[in-house]
Amino acid sequence: MNWFRYASPVEFYPLAGRMVPWFAVAAALSTVVGLYWGFFQTPDILSQQKEYYRIIFVHVPAAWMSMWLYLVLVGWAVLGLIYNTRLSFMMAAAVAPTGALFTGIALLTGVLWGKTSWGTWWDWDPRLTSELILFFIYAGYMALQSAIEDSYRADRASALLAIVGLFCIPLIYWSINCPDPTQCAALHARSSMSAIETNILAAMWTMVFAFWMYSFAVIFVRVRNIILERERNSTWVSRLIGGGPS
Amino acid sequence: MIAEFFSMGGFGFYIWTSFGLTFLLMLAEVLYLRQQRRTNLKRIQRIRKMNAGSDS
Amino acid sequence: MSTSSSPQAILVLLRRDLTLAFRHRSEMFTPLFFFILVTALFPMSIGAEQSLLQSIGPGVIWVAALLAALLSLESLLRSDYEDGSLEQMLLTPQPLSLLVLGKVLAHWLRTGLPLVLLAPLVGFQYYLAGDTLVTMMLALLLGTPVLSLLGAIGAALTLGVRGGGMLLSLLILPLYIPILVYGAGAVAASATQTLPAQPFLLLLGAFLILAMVLTPVATAAALRISLG
């Protein structure tokens, strides 16, 4: 099967459309399973934290998604710059809002967890602060894209920006986490993953899977919207929507 | 029993707000995309009509 | 002009940029005055108590330096963009990254270096003492070129874009954070004597070298994208 066929928006549009319902269903099912597991099959206490630790089931998956989706974004940006394919840039543009959404969710749930766990809404914990910066990096990408009118230039400029951002993110994280170069310490000690009970871990990973399924569904829907918008003047779109030559 | 579940040892507000916000935001994203698609389709219909008009 | 070697081209570019800048001397002063004004605002708004100012001084001075750098970035490319000489730069046989390096060096000489020299005055405002001021100047000396180098990428990306200045700030400020953290950290370490300032300065030096090597490439790519 010639996969490169699907590198064109014309071919990818219907393919994505067929896949969306499957991802949506998978997302819904795994969410139900994950939440049920997380609320009913797990103990009420996690190390020193009481029931509120359950926020972990959305906070950690959301934080991971925010980071992984940024990598996906940069991946598409690099592909676009190397191969000059329109669809690659459209995919990058489609990923950004969902990545930003998960960053926002991670921040909001992180704040709520912080309030219960150590008493204040915000205390500049290095990880949450880095998440905040990631949010601004997403925002910058989206702002640059919408500020430049010519889509050819907008795509490539924001792609370059995303790549530069990727280089800087580790530096930013290390500088926030280790403001003193001779020693590094996270503000709040986190229990290591292995110490967490298996049921809790399983529920969390199920939620991660659910978020991935959701992301695929939403991103494919969005890229279809982007394709429609960018190709609105072409005949294939006209034929598709109208059901006959215009 | 159910009341106990919802209260979650007194932390109910934080837990349910977290989950609630998460799903609300995701729902908002889905609805927004749906709206975006409708706008796009209308626009394309208008373009079709314009082209059909200028051809005849 | 006959084919010249790359170092010669950079020197020519440098001389040209500095001459032009000298003709518009007043433009050089605006970021400087901004820097001084911003740092003067904090004692007015928070109060002039000595220990308070001493503790916030390093951070405030660095944030003001960041903001002044952002303001000054407009002048890096705008006039060359408007009169077409930027496009000429793309057409010359010299590697674009080297030309970019030359332009950024000129930019730093006229915006960053004056700031470094002026910083002790501001340091006095914040009751910072002798060797803290020296550390501060060193840190700024190492950090402000990086601000120009990184900022050049943003300036190239937002070339000619409406509302570009504000957008530029949004794009570049997150990238400035490591410089800010370690630059202010160096001064704070020296002021409070709790830590040696040297590791901070070494780190800043490493950033400078990294930036000199990598950012011109990105800026050159951004220029090609923006100018088509």
Task: Inform me whether the pLDDT recorded for A236 exceeds 90.
Answer: no
**Partners for C (CB, 8 Å, 3+ pairs)?**
A
Touch of B by C (3+ CB pairs closer than 8 Å):
no
A9 part of a folded domain: no
Expressed as residue numbers, the domain containing A237 is 21-184+203-242
Task: Inform me whether the pLDDT recorded for A24 exceeds 60.
Answer: yes
The rounded distance, in Å, linking the Cα atoms of C91 and B23 is 53
- In a 13 Å sphere around the CA of A114, the CA atoms on its Cβ side amount to 18
pLDDT tens by residue, A102-151: 999 999 999 998 888 878 888 888 889 999 999 999 999 999 999 999 99
Q: In chain A, what residues touch B41 (CB-CB under 8 Å)? A: 228, 241
Q: In chain B, what residues touch A97 (CB-CB under 8 Å)? A: 29
Kindly state the greatest CA–CA separation across chain C: 62
> How far are the Cα atoms of A67, A227, B27 from residue A141, in angstroms, in the given order?
14, 19, 23
- Give the chain A residue whose CA is nearest to the CA of C206: A171
Q: In chain C, what residues touch A89 (CB-CB under 8 Å)? A: none
Q: In chain B, what residues touch A55 (CB-CB under 8 Å)? A: 14-15, 18
User: What is the average pLDDT across A197-218?
Assistant: 91
* A15 contacts chain C (CB < 8 A): no
CB contact under 8 A, B22 and A112: no
User: What is the average pLDDT across C137-142?
Assistant: 96
Q: Nearest by CB to A214, which of B26, B33, B40? A: B26
Tokens of A216: 């695929």
Most confident of A241-245, B25-29, C21-25, C70-74: B25-29
Higher pLDDT, C200 or B51: C200
Q: Nearest by CB to B29, which of A98, A237, A242? A: A98
User: Whole-prediction pTM value?
Assistant: 0.91
- Give the chain C residue whose CA is nearest to the CA of A140: C171
Task: Inform me whether the pLDDT recorded for A211 exceeds 50.
Answer: yes
Expressed as residue numbers, the domain containing C101 is 6-227
C207 part of a folded domain: yes
- Please, are residues C197 and C190 in contact by the beta-carbon 8 Å criterion? yes
Confidence of residue C9 (pLDDT cuts 50, 70, 90): confident
Q: In chain A, what residues touch C162 (CB-CB under 8 Å)? A: 147
Tokens of A143: 């702002």
Confidence of residue A48 (pLDDT cuts 50, 70, 90): low
User: Please, what is the angle between helix C50-72 and helix C164-192, to 10°?
Assistant: 150
- The per-residue pLDDT for A188 is 58
**Partners for A (CB, 8 Å, 3+ pairs)?**
B, C
Task: Inform me whether the pLDDT recorded for A222 exceeds 50.
Answer: yes
What is the residue whose two structure tokens read 């809790």?
Answer: A200
> How many domains are there within chain C?
1
Question: How many CB atoms within 10 Å of residue B38?
Answer: 11
Q: In chain C, what residues touch A175 (CB-CB under 8 Å)? A: 177-178, 181-182
Nearest 5°: CA angle at C186, between C181 and C188?
90
CB contact under 8 A, C170 and A153: no
- Give the chain C residue whose CA is nearest to the CA of A144: C167
> How many domains are there within chain A?
1
- The per-residue pLDDT for A193 is 53
- Please, are residues A63 and A82 in contact by the beta-carbon 8 Å criterion? no
C63 part of a folded domain: yes
Most confident of A162-171, C7-16, C124-133: A162-171
Task: Inform me whether the pLDDT recorded for A51 exceeds 90.
Answer: no
Q: In chain B, where are the structural domains located? A: 24-56
Whether ipTM exceeds 0.85: yes
Q: In chain A, what residues touch B14 (CB-CB under 8 Å)? A: 52, 55, 112-113, 115-116
C1 part of a folded domain: no
CB contact under 8 A, B25 and A104: yes
Tokens of A234: 């072409």
For A179-243, the DSSP string reads SBTTB---SS----GGGS-HHHHHHHHHHHHHHHHHHHHHHHHHHHHHHHHHTTTSHHHHHHHHS
CB contact under 8 A, A232 and B48: no
A14 part of a folded domain: no
Task: Inform me whether the pLDDT recorded for C187 exceeds 60.
Answer: yes
CB contact under 8 A, B33 and A221: yes
- Please, are residues A92 and A80 in contact by the beta-carbon 8 Å criterion? yes
Task: Inform me whether the pLDDT recorded for A176 exceeds 70.
Answer: yes
Q: Nearest by CB to B15, which of A52, A62, A233? A: A52
Across chain A, mean pLDDT equals 88
